[in-house]
């Protein structure tokens, strides 16, 4: 698989590359994309890089009806020496295969996928923005393409990688977000699809997001789907609390998505000898810590924002303001260090960065 040739068709109609301050998130796409087909009995075949363009799909394709699909999100960074760095891309393709397992989608060859990604980025290298905080967002995804309305795992799939230059997540500095603890809806339950990165999880989370948005909260904090008691995630990020000097994050319990940023933060904290614990943590415990004056910091982690400080929780008609609504010292250090490693400004003792 690794030696498979990737046929390439160069785009002759290059698009203008947007200015850094206009990028936003996921609005612009580069000149090329990677595609590969899967056919039962034949496996993955015909890997190719072609001009970015709409897909032609039969309306009966299974993905449109039963949502058998998975995706990933990662970033490439241009360093000040004009080198291109990927951050732990092996972990993303490994997780894509974990998601594939859950959704009954055949595995991809992880090494080959990384090789294909590198070739694609090389071709669209000029699209990688260089302004501080900007990067090239990478979206690998797989859709089920068998034209059939029966409910069963598809016999055909399409693996696609698209690239999007993205702006700085924090235009006016790292502003803490306000979050509402969700009590009516759940994101997932143990045994559901919470550990897979799949579109359905996002579709089902929109309603809660919309309702909390109406009352001024930009994200929701998800509690566990069984007891509505234990903390799971915030929006589409993992969550961390600093309580009395100890950093706590919910343990991977079978319904939480295993974030690569989450794992990197845990490794960084251990490297710094900051106490960090992965365990069950209830909303009641967080409230008690807040009342005792021990809730020092809270933040979400994910590829898009890296670290998103939390300035306020809203729960049972009560507002809890964390660290005066300002970013905490540890949150800031983690943000600076992790983005520094990703951008090649800081030393990378973990070997996380992969050169193109």
The region that residue 254 occupies, defined by phi over 0 for left and psi between -120 and 50 for alpha, beta otherwise, is left
Q: Is residue 343 part of the contact set for ligand PLP (CB under 6 A)?
A: no
Report the distance separating Cα 27 and Cα 32, nearest Å.
Answer: 15
Among 68, 261, 308, 353, binds ligand PLP (CB under 6 A): 261
Q: Do 156 and 38 meet the contact criterion of CB atoms below 8 Å apart? A: yes
Q: Is residue 88 part of the contact set for ligand PLP (CB under 6 A)?
A: no
Nearer to ligand PLP, 51 or 73 (CB): 73
Which 3 state secondary structure label does DSSP give 3? coil
Nearer to ligand PLP, 144 or 238 (CB): 238
Among 110, 124, 182, 233, binds ligand PLP (CB under 6 A): 233
Q: Are strands 238-243 and 69-71 parallel, antiparallel or unpaired?
A: unpaired
Nearer to ligand PLP, 103 or 237 (CB): 237
Rg (CA), the chain: 21
Nearest approach, Cβ of residue 291 and ligand PLP (Å): 28
Among candidate residues 306, 356, 303, the one with its CA nearest the CA of residue 331: 306
Contacts of 5 (CB under 8 A, 6+ apart): 47
Among 73, 106, 133, 192, binds ligand PLP (CB under 6 A): 73
Report the distance separating Cα 37 and Cα 47, nearest Å.
Answer: 7
Site map for ligand PLP, 293-312, x if CB under 6 A?
Answer: --------xxx---------
Nearer to ligand PLP, 103 or 123 (CB): 103
Q: Is residue 250 part of the contact set for ligand PLP (CB under 6 A)?
A: no
Among 135, 238, 255, 337, binds ligand PLP (CB under 6 A): 238
Among 144, 195, 236, 331, binds ligand PLP (CB under 6 A): 236
Q: Is residue 257 part of the contact set for ligand PLP (CB under 6 A)?
A: yes
Contacts of 268 (CB under 8 A, 6+ apart): 334, 337, 338
Report the distance separating Cα 69 and Cα 100, nearest Å.
Answer: 8
Contact footprint for ligand PLP (CB under 6 A):
73, 197, 233, 236-238, 257, 259-262, 301-303
């Amino acid at each position: 698989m690794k030696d498979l040739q990737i046929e390439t068709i160069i785009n002759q109609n290059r698009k203008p590359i947007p200015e850094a301050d206009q990028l936003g998130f996921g609005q612009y796409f580069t000149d090329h994309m990677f595609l590969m087909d899967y056919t039962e009995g034949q496996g993955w075949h015909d890997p190719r890089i072609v001009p970015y363009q709409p897909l032609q799909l039969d309306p009966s394709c299974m993905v449109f009806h039963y949502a058998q699909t998975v995706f990933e999100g990662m970033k490439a960074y241009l360093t000040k020496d004009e080198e291109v760095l990927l951050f732990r891309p092996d972990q993303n393709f490994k997780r894509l295969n974990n998601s594939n397992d859950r959704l009954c989608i055949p595995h991809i060859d992880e090494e080959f996928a990384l090789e294909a990604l590198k070739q694609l980025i090389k071709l669209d290298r000029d699209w990688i923005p260089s302004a501080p905080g900007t990067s090239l967002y990478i979206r690998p995804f797989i859709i089920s393409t068998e034209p059939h309305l029966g409910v069963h795992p598809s016999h055909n799939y399409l693996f696609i990688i698209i690239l999007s230059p993205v702006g700085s997540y924090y235009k006016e500095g790292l502003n803490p977000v306000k979050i509402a603890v969700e009590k009516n809806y759940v994101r997932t339950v143990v045994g559901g699809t919470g550990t897979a990165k799949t579109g359905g999880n996002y579709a089902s989370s929109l309603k809660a997001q919309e309702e909390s948005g109406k009352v001024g909260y930009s994200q929701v904090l998800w509690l566990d789907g069984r007891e509505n008691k234990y903390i799971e995630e915030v929006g589409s990020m993992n969550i961390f609390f600093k309580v009395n000097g100890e950093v706590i994050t919910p343990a991977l319990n079978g319904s939480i998505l295993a974030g690569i940023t989450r794992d990197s933060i845990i490794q960084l904290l251990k490297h710094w000898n900051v106490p960090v614990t992965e365990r069950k943590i209830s909303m009641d415990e967080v409230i008690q810590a807040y009342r005792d004056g021990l809730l020092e910091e809270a933040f979400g982690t994910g590829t898009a924002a890296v670290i998103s400080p939390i300035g306020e929780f809203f729960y049972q008609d009560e507002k809890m303001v964390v660290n005066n609504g300002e970013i905490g010292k540890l949150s800031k250090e983690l943000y600076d260090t992790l983005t520094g490693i990703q951008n090649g400004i800081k030393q990378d003792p973990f070997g996380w960065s992969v050169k193109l």
